[in-house]
Amino acid sequence: MTKTTNFLERRLERRFRAHDHDGNGFLQRHDFEASATRMAEEFGHGPESPARQKLIEISLGLWEHLKKVADRDADESISLEEYKAAFAAGLLETPESFDQGYVPYIDAVVAIADQDGDGKLTASEEIRWMSSLMNVPEDVSRAAFHRIDKDKDGLITASELVESIRGYYFDESPDSPAHWLLGSLDT
């Protein structure tokens, strides 16, 4: 059982809204498929693109896992309360299970967003994928990018992204790059 603090509850609510692309207050399969498709199209990956197919496959796999552990009433949609309860029960994310789900997901995101194929994302690429996949405003993505880019080389790697996402769930330190990943929670 994961202890959910008020701060973590606010983070989970923010993450839930980032997944809920149609804004209907529930997470559903089409939210995951539509967001992956939208992101792939943002970067010019058509239906035949292996990178697009991989991102959609992984996104739908995340949905299936989420549905399995959180959809208590088996109605094919997950409410915010179901989402938070699954996290608190240790069914959604744990430090031990985190890499298994997120490393392949972020690798698939980088495979699409990394326009020059160097394995690193520019601020522009970060802003575009965060907006198209998770509806994150440009100013929030830009600020997050600069915090994630710890070595200040103007690029972030998949491992830096994974580290910041891990911190989003498991590090409540206000100086952590994760603190700002989807926008400030101080307000």
Q: Concatenated DSSP letters for 156-169?
A: EEHHHHHHHHHHHH
> In which band, very low, low, confident or very high, does the pLDDT at 167 lie, cut at 50, 70 and 90?
confident
141-150 pLDDT, tens digit per residue, is 999 999 899 8
CA distance 113 to 154: 15
Architecture of domain 6-180: Orthogonal Bundle (1.10)
Average pLDDT, the chain: 88
CA distance 144 to 72: 34
What is the per-residue pLDDT for 94? 67
What is the per-residue pLDDT for 171? 80
What is the per-residue pLDDT for 187? 46
Angle at 153 between CA 152 and CA 158, to 5 degrees: 95
What is the per-residue pLDDT for 92? 59
What is the per-residue pLDDT for 186? 59
SS3 assignment, position 121: strand
Q: Is 62 exposed, middle or buried (0-12, 13-18, 19+ CB in 10 A)?
A: middle
- Read off the pLDDT of each residue in 87-111 and give the average, rounded to a whole number: 79
CA distance 138 to 130: 8
DSSP letter, residue 76: S
- Read off the pLDDT of each residue in 136-161 and give the average, rounded to a whole number: 92
pTM assigned to the model: 0.87
